[in-house]
Copies of this chain bind each other. A is one copy, B any other.
Amino acid sequence: MAGNSIGHVLKLTSFGESHGAALGGVLDGYPSGIWIDQDLILAEMARRRPGSSRFSTQRQEADKTEILSGVFEGRSTGTPIGFIIRNSDQHSKDYDALKDVYRPSHADYAYHQRYSIVDHRGGGRSSGRESAVRVMAGALAKMYLREKGITVNAGIRCIGSVRDTGTVFNTGTPGPVPALDPTFIPAFEAEIDKARMALDSVGGVVECRIGNVPAGLGDPVYDKLSADLAKAMFSIGAVKGFEIGDGFSLAGMLGSQANDQMEMDGARPSFITNHSGGIQGGLSNGEQIILRVAFKPTPSISQVQHTVNASGQDTELVIKGRHDPCIVPRAVVVVEAMAALTIADHLLMRDGYGKA
């Protein structure tokens, strides 16, 4: 079954393994006439690129994207945009020892059950490296959304035991650990350093907000905007939780606390509160869309772990190679990318290709 595409009318198809020749994607259904902003592509790819700080893997990849089609004289033509990202700094030998050993909480065991043949090098198809394709496609989606005035921003709300339960939403902070509240940066960095030095890893939570989404986007029942966002976020590696608006907290509330009452704001209906996170009945209601995504700790750690191998023997394992002690900082732009693709998809369903 072909599970490497996502989107209804704006469809991203992805391919590529961590240590193969290249990763790449095809973004189909992209509207014609959009100015392709190469600077935005470079900037977005840089946000995800490995090796740029001690908080990420030391694998060095330029992550240069080459667009092969769908762009003519600087603008999109409406035909599919194919692009590739060559791999360059594979240390495939690092993975020889792992060929037949199932790394705990990695996809290894399940992939062997699913495919029989697995490119084990660097995680193969299940590698987080696939997210480079998402970031590239997300950058294209953002160019389109920008023309519609729609903004997509994300940052870190939690690293391990350090939780920012506030509502400061500052996405302009530079640096390798993009906390939404900059006062949390030292604590977040310390949490990652602590894990890193213990040869361990740590998880976290990313919050994303989407602004200026028109009301009425989404399809009823199964293709709710919220359902498509849930799928898009859960398609990212290491994601184990997702919520919209007040999310799980809403389960603990009364209707009188949770309901977003309305009032006229001049000639415009508006909501007094936004517990719903901008989505009601599965459709956007014109308020800011707010969502949070929970990431588990990177399963690759350099401590001794017990596991089994493909021959059915118990064994001990110490994972060598280059790993992220915390995937969350690099995941921020991936969350934005999936959000941008989902919103652009639903916008194009509403407007069709004739209006774009």
By a CB distance below 8 angstroms, the chain B residues around A118 are 72, 77
**B-facing mask of A1-15, CB < 8 A → 1, else 0?**
111111111111111
B248 near A240 with CB under 8 A, answer: yes
B residues within 8 A CB of A29?
1-3
Q: Is the CB of B256 within 8 A of A301?
A: yes
Number of copies: 4
Contact assessment for A5 and B13 in the assembled complex, using a CB-CB cutoff below 8 Å = yes
Q: How far is the CA of A279 from the CA of B237 in the complex (A)?
A: 11
Cα separation A84 to B353 with both chains bound (whole Å): 27
A98 at the interface (CB under 8 A from B): no
Which residues of chain A in 241-295 are interfacial with respect to chain B, using CB atoms and an 8 Å cutoff?
Answer: 241-248, 250-264, 267, 269, 272, 275-277, 279-286, 294-295
The answer to whether B281 and A126 touch across the interface, beta carbons within 8 angstroms, is yes
**A350/B350 in contact, CB under 8 A:** no
Interface 9-residue window, one of A41-49, A106-114, A143-151, A169-177: A106-114
Is the CB of A163 closer than 8 A to any CB of chain B? yes
Instruction: Give Cα A222 to B116, complex, Å.
Output: 20
Q: Are B250 and A15 in contact (CB under 8 A)?
A: no
- Check: A201 CB closer than 8 A to any chain B CB: yes
Q: Which residues of B contact A205 (CB under 8 A)?
A: 248, 251
CA distance A222 to B170 in the complex (A): 30
CB-based nearest B residue for A325: B255
Of all chain B residues, which has the CB nearest A214? Answer: B113
| Interface size band for A | 35 or more
Task: State whether A125 touches B221 (Cβ < 8 A).
Answer: yes
B308→A254 contact, CB < 8 A:
no
List, in ascending order, chain B residues with CB within 8 A of A26's CB.
4, 13-15, 24, 26
Closest to A281 in B: B107
A226 at the interface (CB under 8 A from B): yes
Contact A261 B107 (CB under 8 A): no
Interface of A is mostly: mixed
Using known A-B contacts A32-B116, A216-B113, determine if residue A262 contacts B307 with beta carbons closer than 8 Å.
Answer: yes
Interface bits A166-204 vs B (CB < 8 Å: 1, else 0): 000000000000000000000000000001001011111
Contacts of A138 in B (CB 8 A): none
With most chain B CB atoms within 10 A of its CB, the pick from A7, A160, A294 is: A294
Q: Contacting A248 at CB < 8 Å: which of B20, B33, B294?
A: B294
Residue numbers in B under 8 Å from A303 (CB-CB)? 256
- Given known A4-B26, A258-B105, contact A110–B353 (CB-CB < 8 A): no
Distance in angstroms between the alpha carbons of A286 and B261 in the assembled complex: 45
A227 and B234 form a contact (CB under 8 A): yes
User: Which residues A109-155 have CB closer than 8 A to chain B?
Assistant: 109-119, 124-126, 130
Q: How near does chain B come to A19, taking the closest CB pair, in angstroms?
A: 9
Q: A262-B306, A349-B352 are in contact. List 8 more A-B contacts (CB 8 A).
A: A1-B223, A5-B5, A16-B68, A17-B72, A22-B82, A68-B84, A107-B283, A272-B306
Could you list 11 A-B pairs, sorted by A, with CB under 8 Å?
A1-B350, A21-B66, A23-B68, A105-B275, A161-B252, A195-B254, A204-B251, A205-B251, A241-B242, A253-B297, A349-B353
